[in-house]
Amino acid sequence: MTSWTEFWQLLELPAVQWAGLALVLGAIGLPIVGVIIIGLDIMPVRFAMMHVALLGIAIGLLTGIDPLLCAIVACGLSGAALTPLARTPSGLSGAMGLLMSLAIAAALLVLSISGVNAAGAFELLWGSILATRPGDVLLLGVLAVVIPGLFFLRRKQMALLLHDRELAATSGVRVERLTLILLVIVAVAVAGAIRLTGALLVDALTLLPALAARRLAHSLRAMVVWAVGIGVTVNLAGFAFALMFDLPPGPVLVLVAGVVAIAAHVVPRHAVA
């Protein structure tokens, strides 16, 4: 266990400060992405984007371009490509299953052609909060502005779309365009979150705060507020706990977020009403 003196010394390290800032910015935008994922009923999108991110990383290693930048671009394009299939949740689910298969096959083919060690590509998917770069923080900062801004500017349209797609269309909502925007944002956000916790732990930043918020909130707006509040609390508490006890931050964040999500479902609704 780290002493308090050592803990405060750790907080003075630039890598720790960048990581803390990234987690705060991530907690502002990424839990709202979780709300969108739940509302659109596209849970498999996280796994699909993980496979697409690997393809982007493989292309980056082949071309010499920043692999994570390629991963973000690949995920964004994939999100846009899924839009025509978003008329029904079943259509999206099937498309994402196909996307996962094609992306992993293409990634392995590119890695084979390039002669790059596949283990090196997969290592980039594990993520590392303490390896956060200014570019990562910039991306999360943009998402922290764009995602809440889009929600509050288009909250009525989004509420209709997330509740019932057909009702939204008959109410004058430009469903195709809004769906395109949301899917691209979800895809890019998942790719950005991979840098912090790794592909396998991305739910700690996106889905788990939203699941807890869904249990506690009685409206979409309240769900977003709860999700962001839980995200900030979980990220800071989990990161501090990991530093204090010299533990890997990614798994700790998932465990803390999971405990909060379980606790939210245990607490009776009237206790938080």
Return the higher-pLDDT residue of 269 and 77.
Answer: 77
CA-CA-CA-CA dihedral for 253, 254, 256, 262, to nearest 10: 160
Lowest mean pLDDT among 11-15, 70-74, 162-166, 265-269: 265-269
pLDDT of res. 133: 83
Arithmetic mean of pLDDT over the chain:
85
pTM, entire model: 0.86
Return the higher-pLDDT residue of 1 and 61.
Answer: 61
pLDDT of res. 23: 92
pLDDT band at 6 (very low <50, low <70, confident <90, very high): confident
**Nearest 5 degrees, angle CA 34-CA 61-CA 197?**
30
- Name which of 53, 97, 5, 21 is nearest 186 in CA terms: 53
What's the average model confidence in pLDDT over 67-87?
Answer: 83
What's the average model confidence in pLDDT over 69-96?
Answer: 78
What's the average model confidence in pLDDT over 69-92?
Answer: 78
CA distance 164 to 162: 6
Distance of CA 185 to CAs 10, 68, 107, Å?
A: 33, 16, 23
pLDDT of res. 259: 94
Q: Cβ atoms within 10 A of the Cβ of 159, count?
A: 17
Residue 273 pLDDT > 60, yes or no?
no
pLDDT of res. 99: 85
pLDDT of res. 65: 87
pLDDT of res. 270: 55
CA distance 28 to 66: 26
Return the higher-pLDDT residue of 202 and 229.
Answer: 229
pLDDT of res. 118: 66
Compute the chain's Rg from CA coordinates.
Answer: 19
- Name which of 237, 234, 240, 252 is nearest 10 in CA terms: 240
CA distance 140 to 126: 18
Lowest mean pLDDT among 17-26, 67-76, 192-201: 192-201
What single-letter amino acid sits at 101?
Answer: S
Domains recognised in the chain with CATH numbers: 4-272 (1.10.3470.10)
- The contacts of residue 265 (CB under 8 Å, 6+ apart) are 212, 215
- Name which of 248, 247, 256, 245 is nearest 205 in CA terms: 256
Q: Which residues of 254-266 are buried (b: 16+ CB within 10 A; e: fewer)?
A: bbbbbebbeebee
3-state helix, strand, coil in the chain (%, to 5): 85, 0, 15
Q: Cβ atoms within 10 A of the Cβ of 92, count?
A: 23
Provide the 3-class DSSP secondary structure of residue 255.
helix
